[in-house]
Amino acid sequence: MAEGKIDILIGTHKLLNASLDYHDLGLLIVDEEHRFGVRQKEKLKALRADVDILTLTATPIPRTLNMAMSGMRDLSIIATPPARRLAIKTFVRESDDALVREAVLREVMRGGQVYFLHNDVDSIEKMTEDLSKLIPEARVTFAHGQMRERELERIMSDFYHQRFNLLVCTTIIETGIDVPTANTIIINRADHLGLAQLHQLRGRVGRSHHQAYAYLLTPHPKRMTKDAVKRLEAISSLEDLGAGFTLATHDLEIRGAGELLGDEQSGQIQSVGFTLFMEMLEQAVESLKEGKEPALDDLLRQQTEVELRLPALLPDDFIPDINTRLSLYKRIASADSENALAELKVELIDRFGLLPEATTNLLALNTIKLKAAGIGVRKIEAGEKGGFIEFNQNASINRDFWSAYCNRSHSITGWKAQLSSKSWRQ
């Protein structure tokens, strides 16, 4: 390989090994990109600085999707299904033995096979025994990743050749399994799995022209987390073929976009958000074009935080489509003038009707941010009992004016002005 005698090299994570020497690496293709961590992907890119990278995934992780939707990466969507492929019918139901028996027998009676996913190695044998008693008509076996390689290979081969028609398994089947005659999957405790995992597992069935079914078994909704309920609602509402991208946008909204300059691939951004990052980048590029050194201190000082303890969002029932909501959030956050926000408000009313209170709050908060940034305010925080306004260190402040203004407003707000040498607090 170091001599350039190999044109195409196919491998696993082993390709990240520092001992491997690439002669002239030009293209890197990463399949199932969502199974790689940030550091692993950085190692791949570090193999050569100018390598072209193509990543493939049915369900992009939030960080990757956010970067693509924000223009940091090019994005192509392949949404055309194979010929004669049918959408998988998905049902979310509370755990019930009668339902499990009916679903398995329906599939077995038409000559098909069933996956029963039980993602707990310690109790998988017990679950297999219980299912054998519940459905004596089925030929049941189990498989998990802690088995010996040859034993696991034998079981999967037997299942493929239909010596068994009910396989109790863990998430080991998530990728790389293609059994055309397996057209029903039952996922036990689906509330414990992520949205991307559920989509990948659902994709293990329906790989031929037969109608496939996915049953997601859960406890009572009160025993599930709010995020779990949202995940299950999302996957049950999106059954169409090629729905992976839409599901990934739901995942982005539920889990957060992660950090662009950090290792977190999901979660709310703690340090640098996309809007700030792009402003910093654009300013740096402009400075370099003009032959100047990029100076980001001024931009950082201009960022204003506003926290008024008010609901400020675009509600689901106001704008049902998640892609539209994400696009509008970005446009609102990127608005650089009050006129731009006013135009957005008119557009929202024209497209969706009267604004709910939370959306009015969102636009008002962004208006406050713009005004505050113009007079050197770094942070505004307020609640029922009071709040404070913090100015930048180099802001020009008329102390007498602000003190008199706050005291005049005391009868309305109930707040009293207090002066601080570090910042203004009221």
pLDDT band at 423 (very low <50, low <70, confident <90, very high): very low
Task: Give Cβ neighbours of residue 162 (< 8 Å, ≥ 6 apart).
Answer: 113, 181
Q: Where are the domains of the chain?
A: 13-69, 89-241, 302-425
pLDDT band at 268 (very low <50, low <70, confident <90, very high): very low
Distance in angstroms (rounded) separating the CA atoms of residues 426 and 404: 11
Contact between residue 322 and residue 328 where contact means Cβ atoms under 8 Å apart: no
* Tokens representing residue 139 in the block: 């030929």
pLDDT band at 79 (very low <50, low <70, confident <90, very high): confident
- % the chain with pLDDT above 70: 78
Q: What is the pLDDT of residues 214-259, one digit of tens each?
A: 999 999 989 999 889 988 988 888 777 767 777 777 777 666 655 5
Q: Which residue's structure tokens are 């999901």?
A: 266
**Residue 73 pLDDT greater than 90, yes or no:** no
pLDDT at residue number 424: 43
pLDDT at residue number 240: 75
- Tell me which range, 29-33, 112-116, 259-263, 284-288, is most confidently predicted by mean pLDDT: 112-116
**Span of 42-51, 190-199, 379-388 with lowest mean pLDDT:** 42-51
pLDDT at residue number 238: 77
**Span of 253-267, 312-326, 335-349, 383-397 with lowest mean pLDDT:** 253-267
| Amino acid at position 348, single letter | L
pLDDT band at 325 (very low <50, low <70, confident <90, very high): confident
**Residue 8 pLDDT greater than 90, yes or no:** yes
Distance in angstroms (rounded) separating the CA atoms of residues 254 and 319: 16
Do the two domains 89-241 and 302-425 of this chain adopt the same fold? no
Q: What is the pLDDT of residues 120-177, one digit of tens each?
A: 999 999 999 999 999 999 999 999 999 999 999 999 999 999 999 999 999 999 877 8
Distance in angstroms (rounded) separating the CA atoms of residues 184 and 10: 32
Better pLDDT: 271 or 138: 138
187, with CB counted inside 10 A (0-12, 13-18, 19+), is: buried
Q: What is the pLDDT of residues 354-388, one digit of tens each?
A: 999 999 999 998 888 888 877 778 788 877 667 77
pLDDT at residue number 64: 77
pLDDT band at 49 (very low <50, low <70, confident <90, very high): low
At the topology level of CATH, where does 302-425 sit? Aspartate Aminotransferase, domain 1 (3.90.1150)
pLDDT band at 269 (very low <50, low <70, confident <90, very high): very low
Put simply, whether the predicted model's pTM sits higher than 0.85 gets the answer: no
Better pLDDT: 137 or 395: 137
* Tokens representing residue 106 in the block: 């329906």
Distance in angstroms (rounded) separating the CA atoms of residues 261 and 258: 9
- Give which of 159, 172, 183, 174 is closest to 103, Cα–Cα: 183
Better pLDDT: 77 or 275: 77
pLDDT at residue number 106: 97
CA quadruple 350, 356, 359, 364: dihedral positive or negative? positive
Distance in angstroms (rounded) separating the CA atoms of residues 13 and 23: 19
**Residue 72 pLDDT greater than 80, yes or no:** no
The mean predicted confidence, pLDDT, of the chain is 81
Better pLDDT: 17 or 315: 315
pLDDT at residue number 117: 98
pLDDT at residue number 302: 55
From the candidate CATH numbers 3.50.50.60, 3.40.50.300, 3.40.50.1700, 3.40.50.10860, the one assigned to the domain spanning 89-241: 3.40.50.300
**Span of 189-198, 216-225, 271-280 with lowest mean pLDDT:** 271-280
Contact between residue 190 and residue 198 where contact means Cβ atoms under 8 Å apart: yes
The arithmetic mean of pLDDT across residues 280-297, rounded, is: 69
CA quadruple 358, 363, 366, 370: dihedral positive or negative? negative
pLDDT band at 417 (very low <50, low <70, confident <90, very high): low
pLDDT at residue number 44: 67
